[in-house]
Amino acid sequence: MAEFTQLGLSQTIEDALSKKGYTQPTLIQAEGIPAVLEGKDLLAISQTGSGKTAAFSTPILDLISKSKSKLKPYHIRSLVIAPTRELAMQVEESFKEYGKGLALSTLAVYGGSAKKLQVQKLAKGVQVLVATPGRLVDLIRDDKIFLDEVTHLVLDEADRMLDMGFKDDLEFVLKRLPENKQCLLFSATMPKGVEVIANTILNNPHRIEIAPVKAKHEGIRQMAYLVEEEKKADFLLKFLKDRHIKSIIVFVKTKSQANKLERHLKANHIKACAIHSDRDQRQRIYNLKEFQKGSMHVLVATDIAARGLDIDGVGYVLNFNLPQQIENYTHRIGRTGRGGRRGIAISYISPSEENYFKRIQKELGLDIHIKGPTK
């Protein structure tokens, strides 16, 4: 097993990693960091939970900290494009943490937040910019971001960006980047659209594919209960109370369901909050922080809002409804059992969802016995 000290990172970054309590690199870090430090392009097929953020942020920090040239106003050195504001914020936070002591300017720009402050920071030039596609395009159109000095590009969760309809925005940005740059592409899956982008931007990339889904969830106990749809809320309430659950993410299908369940839990004295795409930015950040602090015990979420969220130490994940896209089952349960800890993933299956659950299991190679029926 490799050690962080063997990967070629600078002492400052190694210190920041050990301060975070990381003792050993994950697979993607052990293979990806040396390749990026050598200047290679990278194609990584991997998911949230693999340690991908540190795999791209630490070598990029190392490389750009060695560059002495001064940035012009509104110019940036490295660009990370991520699908959601939550992910963008987390990536920015990782760059800040791992880059402590390097004094590199870092900024995240995303929709729903005030442009004025972002523009003030951009005016000084930014070493690491993390952006969602829409806001990035806006700022480029406003002449507040120029890409001609970019030396490093990361596309994070590329498949998700295409799923969310950002293809045109990505093309707009990619066309404006200089020819000579190092590109890193991360994607959980490789649909055709991602392949096309990979072929366009990557130059003889080092390819890493992290073991398929199944093997990654060894630390997670997966269970399922047969529960009629209208009884699910009370079944959950009883579970939360009986077990004194302090940290659970509950996935629902729609925004209105999220609101309804949040209300129901609160009315029954459970500390619950919800995140979904209709909540404004400040509310989402606030709720997420409260949950991470432990002030809230239940986070009710829709798939879009939760994708890519780095929430540590979640003991339980509950599929109140099954995800509409099968791959989201994997993303959801990946919220628990991180960093070698054990986690529990539970699914409430209504009679009408039984066949669909069988299909999910078949596709993902799972073998989960459905308990119930419940009274």
Q: Please give the residues from 234 up to 263 whose contact with ligand AMP meets the rule CB under 6 A.
A: none
CA separation for the pair 314, 319 (Å, rounded): 14
Give the binding range for ligand AMP (CB under 6 A) out of 24-32, 69-77, 203-211, 272-280: 24-32
* Minimum CB distance to ligand AMP, residue 178 (Å): 27
Closest Cα partner for 303 from 286, 321, 287? 321
Please pick, from the candidates 339, 351, 365, 373, the single residue that binds ligand AMP as defined by CB under 6 A.
339
Measured CA to CA, the distance from residue 222 to residue 213 in angstroms comes to 14
Q: Are 31 and 51 in contact (CB under 8 A)?
A: no
From residue 97, alpha-carbon distances to 12, 52, 287 in Å are: 11, 15, 22
- Closest approach of ligand AMP to the CB of residue 50, in Å: 5
Give min distance, CB of 371 to ligand AMP, in A.
Answer: 30
Question: From the DSSP assignment, how many helices (H) and strands (E) are in the chain?
Answer: 16, 14
Residues 33-72 that bind ligand AMP (CB under 6 A): 48-54
Q: How many residues bind ligand AMP (CB under 6 A)?
A: 16
Contact 58, 17 (CB under 8 A): yes
Minimum CB separation of residue 76 from ligand AMP in Å reads 22
Q: Which CB, 74 or 186, lies closer to ligand AMP?
A: 186
Which strand (E) or helix (H) includes residue 299? Answer: strand 298-301
Q: For residues 342-371, which are near ligand AMP according to CB under 6 A?
A: none
- Decide if 104 contacts 128 (C-beta within 8 A): yes
Nearest to residue 352, comparing CAs of 230, 211, 217, 183? 230
CB of 312 to ligand AMP, least distance (A): 5
Give the residue carrying structure tokens 């991360």.
Answer: 186
Q: Closest CB to ligand AMP among 87 and 139?
A: 87
Q: Which one among 75, 232, 307, 338 touches ligand AMP, defined by CB under 6 A?
A: 338
Which residues are at the interface with ligand AMP (CB under 6 A)? 22, 24-26, 29, 48-54, 310, 312, 338-339
